[in-house]
Structure 1
Amino acid sequence: GNYGIDPAVRQHKTVCASGAVFRRVSRHPSHYRSADSLPHWLETSGVRGIEGIDTRALVTRLREEGTMRSVIAVGDGAIQDAPDVLRRYLAQPLGTPELVASVCVKAEEDKGQGPVRVALLDCGSKEHIAESLVEAGAEVLEIPFTTTFEQLLTLKPDGLVISNGPGDPAELDDVVATLRRAVEYKKLPMFGICLGHQLLAQALGAKTFKLKYGHRGGNQPVQDERSGKVIITAQNHGYAVDAQTLPSDVEQTLINLNDGTNEGLRHRTLPISSVQFHPEASPGPDDANHYFRDFVGSLREQHAR
């Protein structure tokens, strides 16, 4: 919290975290762009926080045990109730459609102008994804993740981007069914990002699995399988595509050099591809920003024919 809060770099309209854990919170930020302190921002956003926690010990335990569920409890009564709350929490699946619904647009939003129209299926999209598509020269229609294939076609998009988002891709059957229809249509170029990569992989016939150690941060090395080139990427996900389950008409294009997991795919005959990382970064390195230019550029070439 030393930097405080700068609204200009926010990547979502709301705070998507349910809680925040700190060793010590700075109540007096020091940055020329700061417009608010971290504790006040969390309070006004309705997000619970707790400080005085040995975060290094907590991170060490998470590293050893993998992702774990937790409850923030403050006060004697809350602490006494915590076991019951945790038991109810444990009974719930991790990545439900309700989780995605809480962070996606509720109605179509039109952004930018351009000779090609990109439909952005919002599963919890970061703001800079739409901005990057607009910068690449596209009109962007951001649409809810519940949009059906028939509704999608009425928008007459030149291409479809499936965004990042929270949760378990295996819980989003309706979205996968919509994407499967789009694949079978064979006329709609598609590009998936993070959760969108996993959903698209499932629509193509592959399976996903939960990582013991999720990929977090802006320094994940990814290698192109064809060229051998390595880029540094921003990532934030706890699930991955099982490359061993990719069908024969889909090829793995990228791998993570830390653990060898899948980072990208491409259909061998259809204009469909996806990446596990965040090419828009924000924050993070911009090594992969060209994926937006490449996708929009291919749509413009197709549009000009």
Structure 2
Amino acid sequence: MTTETTELTTQDTGWVARKVTALLVLADGTVLEGEGFGAIGDKVGEVCFNTAMTGYEEILTDPSYAGQIVTFTFPHIGNVGANDEDIETSNLASESGVLGVVVHASVTGPSNFRATSRFDDWLKRRGMIGLSGLDTRALVALMRDKGVQNAVIAHAEDGVFDIPALKAKAANYAGMVGADLVPEVTTAQRFDWDETVWSLGNGFGRQESPRYKVVAIDYGIKRNILRLLAEAGCAVTVVPSTATADEIMALKPDGVFLSNGPGDPAATGDYAVPVIKDLLELKVPTFGICLGHQLMALAIGAKTEKMHQGHHGANHPVMDYTTDKVEIVSMNHGFAVSGASLPANARETHKSLFDGSNCGLELIDRPAFSVQHHPEASPGPRDSHYLFKRFTELMDGNKSLGVIASV
């Protein structure tokens, strides 16, 4: 059965709404209508909301969003266009893991001197479906009450949809729990990285005199993480998520970085946790972000849990108990480490001031620490950039002991 959807004419004003060309069909059968843009077709995933006012291109190319449909609370998204410099996906051979984007206002043409393409065209190239004209405030209120939603986002230029089939697809979606999405976003082979941060008028720089050798395990790593590692003096080698401890140690690292990534950490942990355990046992300085934080927690015996609505935005307050300062940070995660489950050899270093959830840990018997938020920003504030220096100081400490071979 197919259905053509069209909004009603308002007779007293003569105003006619635009034809419905996109739908968001929730797993409970709710059908939300809007105007489509970007890619054509339909995709099923988890709907979340992001409260950032800027940085939509970085958000939509963050591999940690694989399998998700992003709803922006800020109404004007896409109006500054897109460019190749703000892409965060490190594996440029793959499409973005993001399935779709939901916005309130219709997208206008680009109005920024850095734009090289229209947002609509950029979404098409990356295979993302867009839906505008929705009351995003109502959708966010629903998710705050009922949690993130499984749904299908669909775009058909002719406005014809098989709504019963879309409802069935949404209802039958298994969801994020138990889903290992890392294979969709990790690199297929090892590569080196030396690009440093961007500056206006100069573009990106190069690290030409590194002091440290770092191996980054790619669970869906963001490019700005790699840039900040390089900026901190690291020669970075990125390895696939399935790399073994022997393969990593053969590269003689001063430190190991555990990257961000999508999906259920417990599912990825089936193969990632044994490797991390071996690295921690060898006392290799280790730094984890986001999924890397969750995997480190699992490796030391802690537990992770699915969150009600997750944390997605660039305005999250976090308490750093190592400095007694509050940071405003960028976040993107739907699972969290249970702070109560941390073992005796782990100390909770950061906590969300929104809901009290764990946002960081350090080991007291190993040179290792991790955070749930994204200190590399892109988008977001730069309050937590100091963590990359903390990592190099950890490697300096180990070098002085002669534990790990240097570059």
Q: TM-score range by the shorter chain?
A: over 0.9
Q: Which amino acid aligns with 2:185?
A: V
TM-score, reference length from structure 2: 0.71
Q: Deviations over 1:231-267 (max 9, x none)?
A: 1111111111111111111111111111111111111
Q: For structure 1, which runs of at least 5 residues remain unmatched after alignment?
A: none
The aligned counterpart of 2:313 is 217
Could you list the per-position Cα deviations for residues 92-113 of structure 1 after superposition, in whole angstroms to 9, with x for gaps in the alignment? 554523x211112111111125
Secondary structure of the equivalent of 1:175? helix
SS of residue matched to 1:82: helix
Structure 2 residue 82 is the aligned partner of structure 1 residue 5? yes
Whole-Å separation in 1 of the counterparts to 2:339 and 2:251: 33
Q: How does 1:124-163 map to 2 (within 5 A)?
A: 124-163=220-259
- Does structure 1 residue 181 correspond to structure 2 residue 278? yes
Write 1 or 2 for the structure with the bigger share of strand: 2
1:25 aligned residue: 106
TM-score (norm 1): 0.94
Question: 1:200 maps to which residue?
Answer: 296
User: For the structure 1 residues 122 and 303, does the alpha-carbon distance in structure 2 shift closer, same or farther, using more than 3 Å as the test?
Assistant: same
The alignment partner of 2:168 has SS state of helix
Compare 54-63 and 22-31 and name the one that shifted more: 22-31
Structure 1 residue 161, shift from structure 2 partner: 0.6
Map 1:49-198 to 2 at 5 A.
49-74=130-155, 75-90=159-174, 93-94=176-177, 96-97=179-180, 99-112=181-194, 114-172=210-268, 173-185=270-282, 187-198=283-294
Call closer, same or farther: CA 1:211–1:218 in 2, change over 3 Å: same
Inter-CA distance 244–41: structure 2 relative to 1 (3 Å threshold): same
> Over residues 83-134 of structure 1, what are the superposed CA-to-partner deviations in whole Å (9 max), with x where a residue is unaligned?
22123323x554523x211112111111125131111111111101010010
Shift of 1:226: 4.4
How much has 1:52 moved relative to structure 2? 2.6
Q: Secondary structure at the match of 1:218?
A: strand
Per the alignment, do residues 177 and 302 of structure 1 end up closer, same or farther by CA in structure 2, a change over 3 Å counting? closer
Query: How far 1:303 moved relative to its partner?
Result: 2.9
Higher helix proportion (structure 1 or 2): 1
Residues in 2 aligned to 1:302 and 1:206: alpha-carbon distance in whole angstroms: 25
**Distance in 2 of aligned mates of 1:35 and 1:78:** 36
Q: Does the 8 Å contact 1:115/1:300 carry over to 2?
A: no
Report if aligned partners of 2:359, 2:371 keep a CA contact under 8 Å in 1.
yes
Task: Give the residue type in structure 2 aligned to 1:107.
Answer: Q
- Stretches of structure 2 that go unaligned for 5 or more consecutive residues are 1-77, 195-207, 402-407
Instruction: Write the letter of the residue equivalent to 2:258.
Output: I
The partner residue of 2:373 within 262, 277, 288 is 277
Q: Larger C-alpha radius of gyration, 1 or 2?
A: 2
Q: Number of paired residues?
A: 302
- Alignment identity in percent? 39
| 3-state secondary structure, aligned to 1:263 | strand
- Which residue in the other structure is 1:247 paired with? 343
- Single out whichever of 26-35 and 201-210 deviates more from structure 2: 26-35
RMSD: 1.7
